[in-house]
Structures are given as structure tokens and as C-alpha cells.
Amino acid sequence: MEPTPKESPEGLDLVRKEIDEVDRELLRLLARRFDAVRQVATTKRNEDAKAILDSARELDVQAHWVQDAESLGLSAPFARRILKEVLNHSRRIQEPLISGASEQVVHHLKVGYQGVPGCYSSLASAHLMATRTSATVDLGGYPTFPDVVDALQNREIDYAFLPVENSIGGSILDVNRLIVDQSLHVVDEEVWEVEHVLAARPGVKLEDLREVRSHPAALTQCETFLRGLENVERQAWFDTAGAAASLEAEDLRHVGALCSEEAAQHYGLVVLERGIADRERNETRFLLLSLEPEVPDQRLPCKTSLVFKLNHHEGALAKALAILADSGTNLTRIESRPQPDIPWEYLFFVDVEGHKDSPNLSAALRQLRSCCNHLRILGSYPFRTKKQEQHLDVPAPVALPPVQPSCRIESVPETPKAAPKRTTFKIGNVTLGEGTFVMMSGPCAVESREQILESAAMVKAAGATILRGGAFKPRTSPYAFQGLGLEGLRYLQEAGRTYGMPVTTEVMAIEDILAVAAHADILQVGARNMHNFSLLKELGRLDKPILLKRGMSATVKELLLAAEYILAGGNQQVILCERGIRTFETATRSTLDVSAVPVIKRSTNLPVIVDPSHAAGIRELVAPLALAAAAAGADGLIVEAHPHPEQALCDKEQALTGEDLKQLMADLRPIVAGQGRIWS
């Protein structure tokens, strides 16, 4: 019997030495690759027609990586992930070389950020500056955003590096105000993925904590985790890394800090818990600000930031946005800021794709000035929030137009015509739309924590990718089970995260929207609320997918017009659902209008799914109707399933068992495959 590594420490040391040598060789090879990248950049600079991003070349590189990885017994997704990082870093290296920025005689730069060493601002600024310049860079922290800008205005630093928006918390208004009031220029951007950990002094255990401190935003982003800690108070701090530093300075044994793992290491703390944020993806966008403008090479993928004030009359904003749209310019951000001295008039902050000196955008900006009484170009800079790596895996989702709602939903045609180009969007790790087929499944209602966890395990095992469950239940009888409300939302969210599934649940009232949106990935509007226009308008303000069910007596046109209320509010992520309509037939709960699927898909580019459960009302009829819907071209199904249907508190007659759902999935696969679609 061969000795284990513990029994043979000398053998283990030899293996570790080999690993160390391989690691060093990997770094040497990376350095060699990036040296070659620099040579490519020099060549591109001398050939004006060459762009930095050569998609055909990168696809060819990817194909060889995957082929070689598989031949060596490595995972293809693993190889793609490494390649994505290598290519992204290669682009960063090429940018200053092509633009000539690297030839500027600058030996020393100072960059200021808000916070202390180890905070997310310090990490992100170091990452950006590492490839932006060959000069030595000193990074320094300041207590507040105004302090950083004051240092820039006093020329104590060369650049200010400040966060402008967060993927969860939204815009940082104080920074927007400083950019406008201090006449600063935007010269670059960086996006940093925030990963909070709970850290404490060495020797401290989770159960020892009586207080957790961090920046208020971090405390909010970890709300669910913190709520699960008994007898632990929260204390707001000026900075995440500052909270970590305070533990080291005071040698506190009962206090923990929410911070980055780098901050924990920097201040001698140990990590007690990882992965504690309420949402898996938490990204912050930072801007690099200067007193002087810097103009990037036009061959770089660029973004331009504007601020303008409109003449205060009807339709002014629509006209301004139409100018940009007509030029083929894509907006990536728009928001307003009140004018303190002129009540009810606003400054608009707009980010668009493109270089300010490019022909299309330059012409649009000249025209835009005609409808503005103030227009300021804050700067053009490299577009780093653009997901340039998307072509390595799947095509980027097709965005719906931001104006002219009629281009998304047309009137129902009287004669057949070509269907509009389909749209797709992501819901967590699931893609819904053109070329995909999605199964949403789960119980009618969330009845208990144990029940929804068991249901999630069951539908996941059967092949469903989105978990459904009602926390608020509209019932015909006031005496029927109405759902668990907020408690049910928390159980549903927990079940979805436990099994890696986005969740969908119904929202019934305007006052419930924020609570439901905080827990669910898709907000569902039931058939009874299809004509609740006040609710639809409010949902149009969300950046969350909305599943809109057809009313029991609604025509297809009425369904499309109801969707238009959501789209007109700005929310383009609408899923239409046929769930059966009321007719004179009584053999089923409703009559499933299968013909509505192709009719709707001729009239809109929105995804269309079908709910066979509510149409049938009878378990044995659900599968045949589901198969018919798939054959008619539905983009997915939403099917009720329960681990113990006989014990269900509502709609037990139509809920499938786990075995029923598995059989349905097996029967669906040849239909979906025959249409050339993939399961998502």
C-alpha cells in the first residue's frame, strides 16, 4: 500500500516543488505572450486600418484553445474562462501602445480614491492603472469624495478615481454632482466585481460576534446573511476596508467587518464567511477623472458621457433621444438631476456608445445642441463595461429599441407576414428568447420552507431551470389559502439559491413591488391583473423581467396593449404568457388558445410562453397541452408541480408529480430538438 502524503512528507514536498516550478513557468509564458501582444500593438499603430479587437482572430484562437484543452484532458469551459481573461488583459496592454499614450514622457502619477488601502476603490484603481500607463503610480486614499476632488483641483494628484454607479444600489449622486459642479473630465472607466467577506481578528469565531460593521451599502447588500446572525448588531462605517482596519487597531474580539478579502489580509484578519451578498453579481463602475480632457484612439471601442439641459417644453427629451437613436447611437445610461435654482427642471446625464469625433456621433451632437440650452461633453474614453468577450461563447442578447414603442408591439396582422426578429435576455444563468426553450416549474403556492425546498429539488432534478411559486395568491374565494406573503418570498428565494435557479412569483399590488423585486428574478402579473394599468406602469420602471399572463377574457390585442404599458415605462424585459381563456366549454378549467402562440409571435419580438396547468385544471391534460404548445413554437412553459399534490393547499388537481414532470420533459425534448432549439 502506497503511503499517503501525510505519511510521506518528503514526497509531498517534491510534488509541491514541481507545482511551484509549473506556476513560475506559467507566469513566464504569460509574460512572453504579452510581449508578443505589445509587438502586435506596434504593428497595428502603423497600420491605421487595423482595429484592436479582431473578432475573427479571437474566434480562431478560441477554437484552438478548446481543441488543445480537450486533447489534454482539460475542461473546455475552464479553458475559455482563462482565455477570456488573457484576451481582456491583452486589449488593455494594446490600448496605450496604439494610442501613443505610452510614449508620453510621464514618469510618476498620483491617483486619489475615497477610502483606505484594501477598499474596492483602491483595488479597482490599481487594476486600471496597471495597464493604462508605464509610469510609476502612487495611489492615495481620502476620507470623502469631495476631499478627492479637492486634491485634484489643488493638483495634489493627477487623477481622481471615484465610483459612479453600482449594479445593485444604482447611481452615486454625490459623484455626479461633483463632476458637473467642478467641471471635471472623464478619461477612463473601470468595472470591479465586489465580493464581500465577513472577517474578524484571528481566533474569533462566528458565534463570538456581537457586532458587524461596514459601509452602509455593504450592510444592505448582505441583508439576508446578516439577518440570520442572532444577537448581532450592525454598525455603519465610512468604508469597508476602514471597518477592517478598525478591528486591527482596537484588537476587537467581538466585532466583525464586511470587506474585501484583500482588505482582510491587509489588516491581519481571518475570513469567517464568503459568498454572503444577497446577489451573486455585484459590480461597481468607477470613473477616472482629470482636470484636462484626454482623447482616445478612435479605433478603440469607446463610450462618451454627456450632460445636457433641455429647453423646458413638451417633447424636448423625446426629441433629444430621437436624434441619438436616428444616428444609430446606443444609450448605455440616462438619468436626471434636479436643478436646485430652477424647480422642476433637470440636468440629464447620458452615456452613449461611440467616440465623440466619429462621423455619426459627431453629427448627432451638433444636431442635439439645437434642442438643448446646455450641452457638455464630459469625455470620450475606452468602453470597459462592454462585454467584449461575449462572442467567445454565445451571441450578445438583442436589445429592444429604447424609443418608439410601436416597433416592439405591432397590431395583430389580418394576413400572415414575416415574424419580427426575436429578442433574447438573460435571467440569472438562463437565456430566454430566440433559439431557446425554458421550463419554469414549481408549486402553485409556497406553503412552507420545507415544501418549497423539496419542490425546488424535485423540479431541478427533472430538468426545469426556473423555479415558480406563489407567495401572494389571488383566490376566487376569500376563505382559500392566500399565501405566506413576505415569509413565502424569503423561502422561495432561499430555495432558488440553494438549487441555482432563478425564481418567479406573482406581484399583486403596487405596494408589494419593491419587496417582491428584492427576492424574485421575474415578477409575474396574473390573469386577474392584466388590466391593472397602475400596476403595469409601476412595473415598467423596474429593471426586472415581467411575466405577463393573458386575462381570462382578453383578446390577443388586449394582451399586447397591456404589455405596452410596461414597455412604455422603459422595461423591455417582458414575457407574454398564454394561460387559457374563458369560453362556453366546461370540460377544462379554461380553453388553451394554442393558436395565440404563432399569432403573438407575428406581432411582437417578445418571448411567448404557455401555462398548460391553469388551462387544463386536470393533471392528466397538462402534458398533452404542454406538448401542443411546444409544437406551436412557444419559447417555454410554466407548469405547476408539487412533491405531494394530494397535500397541496391550492390547485392540487392540476399539479404534476415529480415523475409526471420527468416524463413531460422527456416527451418535450424531441419536439424542441426538432425545431433546432436548445434547452436553457
Q: Would you say 570 and 540 are in contact if contact means Cβ atoms under 8 Å apart? A: yes
Question: Averaged over 70-99, what is the pLDDT?
Answer: 73
Does pLDDT of 392 surpass 50?
Answer: no
Kindly write down the DSSP assignment for every residue of 307-367, as one continuous string: EEEE-SSTTHHHHHHHHHHHTTPPEEEEEEEEETTEEEEEEEEEEEES-TTSHHHHHHHHH
Final residue before a domain boundary, out of 237, 255, 273: 273
Q: Which of 60-69, 112-121, 232-241, 425-434 has the lowest mean pLDDT?
A: 60-69
Domain that includes residue 256, residue range: 197-273
> Is residue 169's pLDDT more than 90?
no
CATH number of the CATH domain containing 246: 3.40.190.10
Name the most confidently modeled range: 24-38, 207-221, 402-416. 207-221
Of the two residues 8 and 246, the one the predictor is more confident about is: 246
Q: How high does pLDDT run on average in the chain? A: 85
Query: Regarding predicted confidence, which is higher, 202 or 279?
Result: 202
Is the Cβ–Cβ distance between 677 and 435 less than 8 Å? yes
Say whether 284 is catalytic: yes
| Domains: count for the chain | 2
The model's confidence at residue 389, banded by pLDDT at 50, 70 and 90, is very low
CA distance 396 to 274: 31
Average pLDDT for residues 434-461, to the nearest whole number?
95
- Model pLDDT, residue 397: 34
Classify residue 208: in a domain, yes or no.
Answer: yes
Instruction: Categorize the per-residue pLDDT at 16 as very low, low, confident or very high, splitting at 50, 70 and 90.
Output: confident
Report the share of the chain in percent with pLDDT over 70: 85
At 668, is the pLDDT very low, low, confident or very high (cuts 50, 70, 90)? Answer: very high
What pLDDT sits at residue 25? 84
More confident residue, 19 or 577: 577
Rounded alpha-carbon distances, angstroms, from residue 476 to 100, 102, 292, 578: 70, 70, 65, 20
Q: Is residue 545, in this structure, part of any structural domain at all? A: yes
Residue 95 lies in a domain: no
Segments in 589-657 forming alpha helices (H): 596-603, 612-616, 619-631
In angstroms, the Cα distances linking 146 to 149, 177, 278, 378 are 5, 10, 30, 18
**421 lies in a domain?**
no
Bigger pLDDT: 416 vs 174:
174
The domain that holds 638 is classified in CATH as 3.20.20.70
Let me know if residue 32 belongs to a domain: no
10 Å Cβ neighbour count for 350? 22
Question: Is residue 161 flagged as an active site residue?
Answer: no
Q: What is the pTM of this model?
A: 0.51
In the structure, what pLDDT confidence band is assigned to residue 405 with cuts at 50, 70 and 90? very low
Q: What is the mean pLDDT of residues 634-653?
A: 93
Last residue of a domain, one of 238, 258, 273: 273
Q: Select which of 240, 284, 304, 604 is catalytic.
A: 284
* Residue 177 placed within a domain: no
- pLDDT interval class at 55 (50, 70, 90): low
Share of the chain above pLDDT 90, in %: 54
Residue 51 has pLDDT above 70, yes or no: no
pLDDT band at 529 (very low <50, low <70, confident <90, very high): very high
Confidence of residue 134 (pLDDT cuts 50, 70, 90): confident
Average pLDDT on 501-508 reads 95
639: enclosing H helix or E strand: strand 636-640
Q: Of 250, 273, 296, which residue is a domain's last? A: 273
Domain contains 458? yes
DSSP conformation class of 401? P
Q: Which of 286, 308, 348, 383 is catalytic?
A: 286
Scan for cell 496592454, then name that residue: 93
Residues 6+ apart with CB under 8 A from 484: 445, 446, 447, 448, 471, 491
Beginning with the edge strand found earlier in the chain, give each strand of the sheet holding 372-382 in spatial order.
331-339, 342-353, 302-310, 372-382
> Residue 285: pLDDT above 50?
yes
- Flag whether 495 is in a domain: yes
Comparing 73 with 114, which gets the higher pLDDT? 114
